[in-house]
Amino acid sequence: MPKIFTYNKQEKLKSRKLLEELFAQGNSFVVHPIKVNFLLVENNTFKTSVQIGVGVSKRNFKKATDRNRIKRLIRESYRLHKLPLHQHIKSTNKQIAVFLLYIDKELPQLSTLQIKMPFIIEKLIKQIN
RNA sequence: CUACAAACCCGAACUAUCGUGCUACUGAAAAGUAGUAAGGAAAGUCUGGACAACAUAGAGCAAUUUACCAGUGAAUAGCUGGUUAUGCAAAAGCAUAAAGACAGUGCCACAGAAAAUAACUACCUCAAACUAUUGAGGAAAAGGUGAAAACGUAAGGUAAGAGCUUACGAUAUUUUGCAGUAAUGUAAGAUAUGGGUAAACCUUAAAUGUUGCAAUGCCACGUAUAGAAACGCUUGAGGGCUGCUCGUCCAAGUUUCAGGGUAGGCAGCAAUAGAUUGUGAUAGUAAUAUUACAACAAGAUAAAUGAUAGUUUAGAAACAGAAUCCGGCUUAUGAGGUUUGUAGUAAU
RNA sequence: CGGGUGGUGGCGCAGUCCGGUAGCGUACUUGUAUGGGGUGCAAGGGGUCGCUGGUUCGAAUCCAGUCCACCCGA
């Protein structure tokens, strides 16, 4: 039985070229405290249907431990709520690159992110259509 | 017991579920199983090396750094022990400093006569003048200023005075004896006493080749074998990773502009190997060294350690995230514990 | 990873090399001029010189540590 709530190496957005394209051409929207950039690409650009990256500004958080902590929390919440997005993308026969940027200036609680994440996924699906 | 001081320790553990990097195994694949996974500072980048590239790395100047003694170490501006001075503390103890101001140059506001080959007031001698002073010289005791004023006190001495002389004392240098490996201490003697500042320039001694893993070696992919300008082709442009000069070596292309392409991977790089890690023994006051046994223990690249629930504990809350690797320094750090010392109080 | 620059009244900057008085513009306050406002003129207030130590008789200035902001190379 394959796992559902995964977030492994193949699902991470890693290509430098693709990232540049994403920020140059992709669309974006904000669901406080997270800014979402995304770009639809042709099929077979990468192995999985969705690649997603996570980022925190060094300007807002000086300490590396804080940045690591936020990235971990975002990843954790994404991991638990990603299922609807994957199902939708598969039905459209395309692939998507997404980048989640944390823009607030204070450390978040995991519980608030857990509440926000479904809204983000929902909005993302709407924007794709 | 209280207060203080010093040297250290620790930096949560376990179970379950979901999830991550790496390695091994299984599998056609999807995936699964097992093992393993941040720090004492991983930080600051202040330093010393390893390693790599470059003329087997040259000479001079410049620049930078260090500066009591001994030991230690791969090495250092580190560490350990010791010496002297100053400051803080009731003490234990802590902090800072220690080549040179008789090599030279500079600076020392205000005040003061004067801030460095001293002379304003006052003192003394001589001459003029005749009671008001003026000139020449002597001398550096008294005065006030200042952060700092030309060794201190007393006596002798003198025209007046003065280390000018003597006694006692202070400081510095030095000789000899004793103690110590030495810095130095101590006793006796001799000589000297004209400020401070070297975290001002500087002098002396010693040290430093430069650049750094984005080094370096290799594979793959791709563009325009295309365009313009300048300099040059042995009468030598330019280059050889050093601020300048010299010397020396290479040398037929080099530099700039506009435009185009790529921005992936392997090694280096993470362990059968080491200035490695842990425990013990021996030598040493200690830093450290020698040795025995055991271990092999993060290795990512938009960058892996997280989440939830429960149990233990008085409590789980500090500072904080490896990026080529080690040594040191500096800075940040919760709660608690151990040992030693000093002072006080009480009891025996 | 490596290298560099800056921090001085509310704001923008001198002064730091070569140590003794902190200054300029603008803003602010008061007065004056005007019927009133602006411009002008005159006067005034306001600064732990990022922080902590040290050197010195004396530190914005010299030295060491530390915090913050910004820039450059690849």
Which DSSP string do the residues of A75-107 spell out, in sequence order?
HHHHHHH-HHHHHHHHHHT-EEEEEEEE--SSP
Question: What mean pLDDT do residues A58-86 have?
Answer: 83
A116-A71-A24 Cα angle (round to 5): 85
Domain range enclosing A110: 13-128
User: Has residue A6 been placed in a domain?
Assistant: no
User: Has residue A50 been placed in a domain?
Assistant: yes
Is pTM beyond 0.80? Reply is no
**Size of chain A in residues:** 129
Give the CA A84 to C1' B138 distance in Å. 115
Q: What is the pLDDT of residues A74-92, one digit of tens each?
A: 888 888 888 888 888 878 7
- pLDDT averaged over every residue in chain A: 79
* Residue A24 pLDDT greater than 80, yes or no: no
Q: What is the pLDDT of residues A40-57, one digit of tens each?
A: 777 666 667 788 888 887
User: Has residue A96 been placed in a domain?
Assistant: yes
User: Has residue A1 been placed in a domain?
Assistant: no
User: Has residue A119 been placed in a domain?
Assistant: yes
Which residue reads 């890693």 in tokens? Answer: A14
Our count of domains for chain A comes to: 1
Evaluate whether ipTM surpasses 0.85: no
Contacts with A82 (C-beta within 8 Å, 6 or more apart), sequence order: A5, A7, A50, A121
- Which domain CATH number covers A28? 3.30.230.10
User: Has residue A31 been placed in a domain?
Assistant: yes
Give the CA A62 to C1' C56 distance in Å. 40
Question: What mean pLDDT do residues A97-122 have?
Answer: 82
Nucleotides of chain B touched by protein CB (<7 A) = 18-22, 30-32, 38, 42, 263-264, 301-308, 320-322
User: Has residue A7 been placed in a domain?
Assistant: no
